[in-house]
Amino acid sequence: SAVISQKPSRDICQRGTSLTIQCQVDSQVTMMFWYRQQPGQSLTLIATANQGSEATYESGFVIDKFPISRPNLTFSTLTVSNMSPEDSSIYLCSVEDQGGGHGYTFGSGTRLTVV
């Protein structure tokens, strides 16, 4: 299955600042997915990132707040902009494992605390 390197693993940020999270995949993938997981909660899809096109955002998430880059088929970034304490969460990237029936592989997550 795919291997994803996600960084940073955690960060503590001041409100009003921005943090960029990076995900590097060891194989080329068409779509990359960004999720948010608040402590003890389920995973909520933020957006789907396709190479060469703008990301598709889910209801409640906007590009100005969560800009995404997808410069090639192995890499993507998610920026959390103008952070507030409500943005404190775990952010995960994910890709579908190729071949069908193998589910999705997740990055190890970025634990963000906004103070």
Partner 1 sequence: GQQVMQIPQYQHVQEGEDFTTYCNSSTTLSNIQWYKQRPGGHPVFLIQLVKSGEVKKQKRLTFQFGEAKKNSSLHITATQTTDVGTYFCAGDVSPPGGSNYKLTFGKGTLLTVNP
Give whichever of 1 and 18 is closer to partner 1, judged by the CB atom: 1
Give whichever of 57 and 75 is closer to partner 1, judged by the CB atom: 57
Q: Does 53 bind partner 1 (CB under 8 A)?
A: no
The answer to whether the CB of 34 falls within 8 A of the CB of 91 is: yes
How many C-beta atoms surround the C-beta of residue 38 within 10 A? 13
Contact positions with partner 1 (CB under 8 A) in 95-114: 96-97, 101-109
Site string for partner 1, 54-93 (x = CB under 8 A): -----x--------------------------------x-
- Residue 4: partners with Cβ closer than 8 Å, 6 or more residues away: 23, 24, 25, 26, 93, 94, 95, 105, 106, 107, 108
Among residues 31, 1, 39, 18, the alpha carbon closest in space to that of 93 is found at 31
Contact positions with partner 1 (CB under 8 A) in 11-50: 31, 33, 40-45, 48
Question: Which residues of the shown chain bind partner 1 in the complex (CB under 8 A)?
Answer: 1, 31, 33, 40-45, 48, 59, 92, 96-97, 101-109
